[in-house]
Structure 1
Amino acid sequence: MSLFGNKWAGEILLETKRIHGLAHDASEQEVHEHLRSVTSYEDVTAAAGAASEEEVTALKSALAETERQKDALDNRVAELTSQVEALHENVKRLEKEAEALKADAKAKADEIEALKKEAAAEHTNGETDPSPGKEKSKTPKWDAFRAQHGL
C-alpha cells in the first residue's frame, strides 16, 4: 500500500510534487522525506511574526530615540532663540546709550567751544585773569629767598 493509501493517491502525489517543485518522476519516498523537512505554515508565520516583532521593537526604540533627540534639539532651539532675543534687546539698549553718549559729547563739545569764546573769567577778588608771567606767586618768601641767593 502506498503512503497515500486511497483512490486519490496518484493525483495527490502529482499535485504535491507540483506544489513543492519536485521532479515529476520523484518517488513516494522522496516526496515523503521532502514533506518531513517542510516547515509548516504556522511555523513559518510564527517565525516571520517574531522577526517582525523584533524589527518593530527595534524601530520603535529607534523612533523613541529620534523623538528624544528632536525634543532636545527643540529645547535647544528655544533656548538659543531666547538668548538671541535677549541679545537683540541688549543691542537696542546699547544703541540708545551710545546715542545718549554722543549727544552728551556733542553738548560738552559745544559747551567747551562756548567757553573758549567767552571773555576771561573773573576771580573772587574782582580781578580778571592776569596775563601769563604776571601771576602772583603762591610762595613769595621762597621766591625772595631764591632771588637773594641767586637760585
Structure 2
Amino acid sequence: MSHIKLFALKFIVSLVILGIILGAGFDVSFGNVFLISLTFAVVSYVVGDLLILKNTGNSGATVSDFVLSFVVIYFMTDALTVGDDVFTATLISTISLTIFEYFFHQSVARSLDQEKEENHREQKNVRPTPELQTEASEELYPYDEDK
C-alpha cells in the first residue's frame, strides 16, 4: 500500500474510535474529535510508523505510539473541551488506539518491505555508470587480409 492509503486508513480508524469514545462517551464535539484525530494521525504516522517502526520493530513502535497518543489526546482534549474527566477519556482512547496500532504496524511493515524490495529490484536492473564494459575481440583489423 502506498503512504496515502496507509495514512487514510489510520485517520479514518482513529476518527471512528475517537468519535465513539470521545464523542459519544464523553460528549466532545465532532469538530474537536476531527481535529484531534487529524493531529494524532499525522504525528503518529510520521514519527511512529515511518521512523520508529523502521528502527525498533512492532513492540517499540506500539509503546511509543501509546505514549504519543496519550500526550496528543490529553493535551488537545484538555485544551479544546471543558470536561472534567479528561484523564479517563484519554486513557480509554489511548488503549483502544494502541490495540489498533499493533495490527496497523504489521501492514505498514509489509508495505515498507515491499517498497524496499521493489527499489532493490529496480537498482539491480539498472547498471550504474562507473561500471562501463568494453568489447574485446581477437582480430586486430575488421577486414580480411587475404582478399
TM-score by length of 2: 0.31
Larger RCO, structures 1/2 (Cα 8 Å, 6+ apart) = 2
TM (norm. structure 1) is: 0.31
Bigger helix share: 2
